[in-house]
A and B are shown apart, each in its own frame.
Chain A
Amino acid sequence: MLEHLELFFKSIFIDNMVFAVFLGMCSYLAVSKKVSTAVGLGAAVIFVLAVTVPMNWLLDQYVLQPGALAWLGEEFVDYDLSFLSFILFIATIATMVQLVEIVVEKFAPALYNSLGIFLPLIAVNCAILGGSLFMQAREIPSLALAFNYGVSSGIGWFLAIVAIAAIREKIRYSAVPAPLRGLGITFIITGLMGIGFQSFGGMLTGDNEPPLVEETVVEAAEFEAPITSDELNELTGLEAEETPDAEETIASIN
């Protein structure tokens, strides 16, 4: 349960699709002029991610990974089809988007009308393929977690596009320098929002990211390396009583 909660918050805030890895920027910039359309596209992205990430997780586990074909029989154990990931993932996504479109049109016409043209566009939204590729790269261990990852990444993207759409609606009344109007200021605002989201990075600093901690320790050690001779004197002086070798070093320095 805890890992679900952790993944959920991590995907929404820390590894936010837009602010941390820049996925789905094209539609993020193009469809964020009005809040209502932004909500529609955001909802469609959550929906499609929730369907395609678990689908591609199954594909990855049972077809693509090295040794994944073992369920077919002994002779398939050595097969490694991972180079086919891109083409299979994008095929799943394109097909699923078509399928979702047909199903939604049949059973929920109201939702279909509100999503409108956004559904077919989503097939080529990098957030969707990116969701599947990151799921593969991060080796998400179970189907339930993959579903969680899909939904929470979608929510993160939804938050980002609704927030920028609201800001863009308001910014129309501000005196933006002419060359920055439109695209330029949107980029800069997104950058500033991204810096804000960076602060969420401190939220989950448990034992889940040991390599990061190690790196900072190494960096710190490197920074301490160039000490002045006075500091060295102090340091070796302090250690003098504890280690016999230190007396020699003090002598050599003096």
Chain B
Amino acid sequence: MGLLSKKDAKLVLDPLADNNPITIQVLGICSALAITAELKASLVMAFSVLFVLGAGNVVISLLRNVIPSKIRIIVQLVVVATLVIIVDQVLKAFAYELSKTLSVFVGLIITNCIIMGRFEAFALGNGPWKSFLDGIGNALGYGVILVIIGFFRELLGSGTLLGNAVLGDPIAKTGLYAYGYENNGFMIIPPAALIVVGIIIWVQRSRNPQLIEEA
């Protein structure tokens, strides 16, 4: 990373693994789980959050000296809601089918705890450039987990990736299905997302024992 100083790079890279917003900070679970049955929806959700968090962090950081601390929550909510409305309208205009799949979960980006959490913890105390990097980093950390969950749920549940059949055709019995492979319908139902996240946390903490919680 020649462009960024070491400190700046840390802002972007830390949330990707050791300080991941989903698996370590436990923020933003709500919208993360419901839309991950397909990889495509996960990707769109990740990009929406990337936009809202990157832009929102900059706006809040620029306004941080003018916002009275008593009403900061309302100001933050208004900023997020405005950005989310932009995302929602863009999705409705250019990807209508997808916006139907995501339904209310685009709106729920407003109450995504990652966004309020980063506003409170970072943007209110740091300059716009740093806040931007922090926003991008955290949104990427969120996106990575979303894409991992979406990848496994779609691959194991429907045998497709981004809608393309990768394991063969279950009806014509080609590819893996010729050897008796079956789709795991369990991965499509909502609770499977929780179990996949649980397993991701398990793997991550086994690799990095510092993260293990005290009993």
A residues sitting closer than 8 Å to B (CB atoms) are 19-26, 29-30, 83-87, 89-91, 94, 123-126, 128-130, 133-134, 136-137, 172, 176-188, 190-195, 197-198, 222-223, 225-226
Chain B 20-64 interface mask (CB, 8 Å, partner A; 1/0): 000100111111111000000000000000000000000000000
Partner of A223, one of B27, B171, B172: B171
Asked if B116 CB lies within 8 Å of chain A CBs, one says yes
List of B residues within 8 angstroms of A137 by Cβ:
103-104
List of A residues within 8 angstroms of B191 by Cβ:
19, 190-195, 197-198
List 15 contacting pairs A-B, 8 Å CB cutoff, sorted by A. A22-B30, A25-B29, A26-B28, A83-B89, A86-B85, A90-B111, A124-B111, A180-B198, A180-B201, A182-B213, A183-B213, A188-B198, A191-B193, A223-B171, A226-B173
Beyond A21-B34, A29-B29, whether A180 also contacts B172 by CB under 8 A is no
List of A residues within 8 angstroms of B112 by Cβ:
126
A-binding segment of B73-81, B121-129, B131-139, B155-163: B73-81
Asked if B212 CB lies within 8 Å of chain A CBs, one says yes
Report, as a range, how many residues of chain B touch the other chain: 35 or more
List of B residues within 8 angstroms of A134 by Cβ:
104
B residues sitting closer than 8 Å to A (CB atoms) are 23, 26-34, 73-74, 77-78, 81-82, 84-85, 88-89, 103-104, 107-108, 110-113, 116, 171-173, 189-195, 197-199, 201-206, 209, 211-215
Complex: A121 Cα to B127 Cα, angstroms: 27
Complex: A178 Cα to B172 Cα, angstroms: 45
List of A residues within 8 angstroms of B88 by Cβ:
83, 86
Majority SS of interface residues in chain A? Answer: helix
List of B residues within 8 angstroms of A223 by Cβ:
171
**Do A86 and B81 touch (CB < 8 A)?**
yes
Complex: A245 Cα to B197 Cα, angstroms: 56
**Do A124 and B73 touch (CB < 8 A)?**
yes
List of A residues within 8 angstroms of B28 by Cβ:
26
A187 → B minimal CB distance (Å): 4
List of A residues within 8 angstroms of B113 by Cβ:
26, 124, 126
Complex: A176 Cα to B197 Cα, angstroms: 17
